[in-house]
Amino acid sequence: MIQDVRVSPDAKQLFRAVAEDSLALALQAVAERGRFSVALAGGSTPAALYALWASDYRQRMPWDRTFVFFGDERYVPADDPASNYRMARESLLDYVPIPPAQIFPMRTDYTNPDDAARGYEQTLRGFFGSQSRALDLVLLGLGPEGHTASLFPDSPALQERERWVVAPVVPAKPQQRLTLTLPILNQARTAFFVVAGAAKREIVRAIRNEPDSAAHGGTSQYPAGRIRPVSGQVVWYLDQAASGS
């Protein structure tokens, strides 16, 4: 079940809609709390959004007050072509004036990935300090079988209720991941799903057609359907190809 859906005619207008709404969110967060925290999505879809942020929105976003986290990471070196950090750096972070101390990649240079997950949780806890543990914006993509971040269907990571970051092995390449978990994702003030292309049409339809009870009970069979911030909003940004409309 998906409540708030915004459909754009094509991907270009989809990314502009997301850029406009994230700008409004960022300015509101800075006005209310003096800073804007965002967890970036990985994969390929968001690169065009990040490029838009780095160009048309370069002068408009409050980059000096922005704190960048990641929703998930592939457990590869930071300069590996599969790295979400590398994708974000090459499309956004190298082009906007965010103070380096305000960019928090998920480190992938620990011998044990679980140590990396625990380290990232400490990074998040240090950022929040005594303030509310709510990221202002979590950007999320959608996999063809309903995964989001690196939370895949039937994964034990979906049952995690305490830890904010875990290191699952997933049925996609690269298999070793780091991912935020539902306890921290569902504390977000706002979650934006950004989904484009006809390849996502079936999974979008499946999630949209889930009975209300499944979504409300948090028992959606799809990890993306379990993103339900306790006091935040979820907005699904789709292009027409993904929405099937």
Q: Which residues bind ligand 6PG (CB under 6 A)?
A: 41-45, 71-72, 74, 84, 141-143, 147-150
For the bound state, the minimum distance from the C-beta of residue 42 to ligand 6PG, rounded and expressed in Å, comes to: 3
Q: Which is nearer to ligand 6PG, 8 or 148 (CB)?
A: 148
d(CA 121, CA 126): 8
Rounded Cα–Cα distance for residues 132 and 110 (Å): 29
Phi-psi region of 43 (alpha: psi -120 to 50; beta: other; left: phi over 0): left
CB of 143 to ligand 6PG, least distance (A): 4
Cα–Cα distances in angstroms (integers) from residue 131 to residues 33, 122, 135, 163, 223, in the given order: 10, 14, 11, 18, 27
Q: How far is the CB of 59 from ligand 6PG (least distance, A)?
A: 27
Least gap, CB of 43 to ligand 6PG (angstroms): 3
Which amino acid, 140? L
Cβ neighbours of 144 (radius 10 Å): 11
